[in-house]
Structure 1
């Protein structure tokens, strides 16, 4: 057996903990920064130092593992990619690729053990090893495409040679994670085992018992004609989802594989050059900004909420309770009707099935959901959530009653839309622990955490951490008659209704919005939400707005009254029952007169939210628009877009002169300037 260098021969590093045992060296990744491990430039530089020592006295095997519960490693943090110039991006990519090539070239066996989540440059690190052992429950992903980039440091080269190239391309083009089972089936991991069998699996890898042969598909894709045919299909599919004009990264990745998939060395060089170009593109910088906005919403707190009581087993209450149970928390669900509670259990099971949860997780969620017809959970929960659609007086009485029975220090939340917290603050014993949550069935990943003037910041912090724990994003807003996301959507849709009333073709409106980069045109979105819901929202906005808004056309209430409410009924603004379909992407950009009338009201509503102190800053308003209503992500948010574009208040004044006072810029623009 080869003699190993002594322990003290390894240099001390901030992020790696090397150990030797017998003929093996285990490099434990344990990053100094808080949160999950991330494979940064510093981590790679330190790995290079460790490889110097290993190369001086070669062991039989090098094992890469992690001590963080989140997983082996994630990729670079978004802030490391912000405003990255081309030269810096190239230096980063080349330096990282050099270290990983060195790891891949070691003459001894190298094995990466992957638990939890492995993504981005963390996955590139794992791919540089000879073998990968997955621990049950693991996932892996290359999410760079969501940042307007593609994998680098050799990630594209190794993935397309290691597994079915078309599956590899789909994985990189979508950014979607693979489960451990799927990764094993595709050959990305060589073994998938429970934690207790890791040592045995590593031994098998070191002894070369897990070596694989190249698949027929991989061999076929070495041929230029086969790659060109597949690349053409991938390009066509991508254009429908992420148009080249808005998102160049998918097409750069396809071209990279199409041109160089047969030559690893050439593909590596082209990968670095392509990554460098994308890193300084406007799309990448804005998508990276959105990623930072998303990360900033996530919260942690030292006073976690462990038990929840939900009052009301209607549709809203059931969905909230199911979300909490599926998120791993115990929840009691109160309703006077046993039938409603029974239906709630069935609906929870159905929701678990619809989200693809395994049978064991489905059963665990059902076990955590406890029907509570007598309301015993009110006195035991850390958090009480009141839902339901009772009369205002009944809801006020409910909140008075809760004040007498809730546990000391428990939080009280209203999840009933349009019920003002200011009305409830005088009814409860501790208004500092009163807040609101706005769950949306249309935006399942984003929850507005609403506060009133007396809400304690600690209450908001605990609720934000609670929402994060459920795997969703908390958006901190102040209480208002209409939720922030709803208000932004209303600004988008109400002007579209006016334009239809003026005689504009509905398809032209949808095409103009799609041409701007919106994921869905306003006409299609209105039909999807339901014209009845839209009409109710429009009325609320009209009644509560402190400035002029678009008028509601007379034909809209008539359509709703006649039952023509959208996709659900087969007839709305489009006639789905007769085979009419919304348009796809336009061939040519729409007139700015059309797109500005649809988009700039969103920007103005975002500025208004700042003036009314609904949000604390422009970043929160941008996060609400992008993550809540899908405002063109590659533009970075409505206020960021307005800043980059310039002159938006002046353009609004021009539109006001032509189309009415509703376009006059909100006073909130002054604060932004």
Structure 2
């Protein structure tokens, strides 16, 4: 058969000897494939051409090394400003993918790398899905993270393919799965190594193999028992997100249960979601995240070896995270008895996360105890993560500089000391930067990259690149007490403790901020941080010369240091806070508690600690969990005054 491949800008078509058409998406001018209007229009034209000359089979694949398809074009979604444009956007993909699903010839999606959102919806519209077994292959429908729904067939076809419970879990959380799990769930028909992927795809698309159907129970749950599944899903979502803040997950449940996954059958839901403040702000957060990722570009620096000094909770967890991300890590402290707990903690955490025993062993083999500090001589990155004592840190940094390679990156994980005060002992003071992680390291995506006056710009850029290399978001900040994140949390937590001193219960205070949209109340946050840490940071919490709040001082003196000892403002009998009823929340309490955080964020932008308001919003969202649906504290403040 003859194919006119030259008439397409983003797609390349070729036909093999068996009559199978290979459609390769390689979006012009982009490093990642996305389903823009132009790409979708060309796909419709391809289907027109194949209607006239049906092939033996059709295989979709990517021409990008970065992955299959990242999803719809988010820039186009951000332009939706009317109900009509929202419906038009949904209809474009729903109708096209229904057409693809109905073609007479077999179709297959060859998924290598990320396959997300609209990309997975295209793959679901194919008869077969072949996953390539590589670490970068991830599949998911993360639209809920943008405050929208998978309206191009995902809400119909994913429950049909893998059953509603697994499908709703993916759609309501935005989580992704790897190639092996995709095969296990039935999302992928097979999972193969990259070296045989083309041959395997060519064979499978012509095999006339029936798709594996979900078990009978799953088919019943996707049919007559939908109501039971939907009710259970709503209860689970309600534990994590309030409908007034995040309407999208509730809409996903309703569209699946009541409209067979067809968002066009519920235009009022689509309009409410696509033009909601939540969707607008979550798209804003997406672009803020992309901006943070961009700070890791601009240098060829790539670390292979990392040396961490300090095997406490922070240092040990930093080392464990770097090992998980593929780096060889040496962990130093004063003797094996101090290092061993960090290794045990890492093993316990990664054993839950990494199911492959060989991969787990490889991770742990990369995490090397080094009580004598030999690894500092060979490391590309050296991170000081000992306790917050100026003299101890200065002595350690000076000793590290004497043995480190001249080109190696030297960083401190200090959370409260200024870089200027630490670097005076160095022969090359401009080489020291801050790389400040947050607890828990494995869950908090933000890392502050701290520069002082006169810091070497190339070293700072290498710090940003290192943070991205280990799959974290770098936020450039200037050296100042508390930098950005801790500096805004201090007055927020202080105000919460003042409210306790005035007689409000911790439960009432936390409930006020949970209702505001915070992922955790400020009192529980203090317990998680540690009351000893709050006391140590007293000058930034209470102001110079001021006494700590009475409620903090009393608990600290009693040894009630928070979650880590099982007792703080709350008791922790099973690792979770034992809370009583919150009672009635006084009017205006949330506004009172958040006001100091908003004011301090504004001040830090004015002082140049962070470059601009957008970066401040990004830092506070990803560093504290500040209600993402607001678009960040300063965006929230602007909207309040609009």
**Fold match by TM threshold 0.5:** yes
Query: In the comparison of the two structures, how many residue pairs are matched?
Result: 631
Structure 2 residue 156 is the aligned partner of structure 1 residue 157: yes
SS of 2:242 mapped into structure 1: coil
Residue pair 1:322, 1:351 contacting (<8 A) in 2 also: no
Task: Report how far residue 121 of structure 1 moved.
Answer: 0.7
SS of 1:46 mapped into structure 2: helix
Residue pair 2:59, 2:201 contacting (<8 A) in 1 also: no
Task: Report how far residue 189 of structure 1 moved.
Answer: 1.1
- Tell me how far apart the structure 2 counterparts of residues 357 and 470 of structure 1 sit (CA, whole Å): 20
SS of 1:176 mapped into structure 2: coil
Residue pair 2:117, 2:143 contacting (<8 A) in 1 also: yes
SS of 1:304 mapped into structure 2: coil
Aligned to 2:437: 439
- Tell me how far apart the structure 1 counterparts of residues 309 and 345 of structure 2 sit (CA, whole Å): 16
Aligned to 1:659: none
Aligned to 2:170: 171
Aligned to 2:95: 98
- Tell me how far apart the structure 1 counterparts of residues 63 and 431 of structure 2 sit (CA, whole Å): 37
Q: Which runs of no fewer than 5 residues in structure 1 stay unpaired?
A: 648-673
Q: 1:390 to 1:245 in 2, by over 3 A?
A: closer
TM-score by length of 2: 0.91
Q: 1:584 to 1:73 in 2, by over 3 A?
A: farther
Q: 1:527 to 1:406 in 2, by over 3 A?
A: closer
SS of 2:6 mapped into structure 1: coil
Task: Report how far residue 132 of structure 1 moved.
Answer: 0.4
Paired residues for 1:206-217 under 5 Å: 206-213=206-213, 215-217=215-217
Aligned to 2:423: 425
Task: Report how far residue 542 of structure 1 moved.
Answer: 3.5
Aligned to 1:655: none
Aligned to 1:377: 375
Aligned to 2:537: 537
Greater CA deviation, 37-46 or 464-473? 37-46
Paired residues for 1:624-635 under 5 Å: 624-635=619-630
Q: 1:242 to 1:622 in 2, by over 3 A?
A: same
Paired residues for 1:223-622 under 5 Å: 223=223, 226-261=225-260, 267=262, 269-270=264-265, 274-298=269-293, 299-306=296-303, 307-356=305-354, 358-389=356-387, 392-442=390-440, 444-543=444-543, 552-577=548-573, 581-582=578-579, 590-622=585-617
Task: Report how far residue 289 of structure 1 moved.
Answer: 1.1
Deviation sequence 1:292-311 (CA, Å, 0-9, x none): 11121112243223232223
Q: 1:350 to 1:237 in 2, by over 3 A?
A: closer
Aligned to 1:74: 70
CA RMSD of aligned residues (A): 2.7
- Tell me how far apart the structure 1 counterparts of residues 402 and 34 of structure 2 sit (CA, whole Å): 48
- Tell me how far apart the structure 2 counterparts of residues 12 and 401 of structure 1 sit (CA, whole Å): 65
Structure 2 residue 68 is the aligned partner of structure 1 residue 88: no
Aligned to 2:16: 21
SS of 1:72 mapped into structure 2: strand
Aligned to 1:662: none
Greater CA deviation, 167-176 or 294-303? 294-303
- Tell me how far apart the structure 1 counterparts of residues 524 and 616 of structure 2 sit (CA, whole Å): 24
Structure 2 residue 183 is the aligned partner of structure 1 residue 184: yes
Deviation sequence 1:521-542 (CA, Å, 0-9, x none): 2222222333222222334444
- Tell me how far apart the structure 1 counterparts of residues 362 and 214 of structure 2 sit (CA, whole Å): 40
Q: Which runs of no fewer than 5 residues in structure 2 stay unpaired?
A: none
- Tell me how far apart the structure 1 counterparts of residues 321 and 340 of structure 2 sit (CA, whole Å): 17
SS of 1:238 mapped into structure 2: helix
Aligned to 2:60: 64
Task: Report how far residue 221 of structure 1 moved.
Answer: 4.2
Deviation sequence 1:245-301 (CA, Å, 0-9, x none): 11111111111122122xx7xx25226664343111011111111121112111224
- Tell me how far apart the structure 1 counterparts of residues 570 and 94 of structure 2 sit (CA, whole Å): 52
SS of 1:533 mapped into structure 2: helix
Residue pair 1:481, 1:544 contacting (<8 A) in 2 also: no
Aligned to 1:147: 146
SS of 1:603 mapped into structure 2: helix
SS of 2:67 mapped into structure 1: coil
SS of 1:504 mapped into structure 2: coil
SS of 1:461 mapped into structure 2: helix
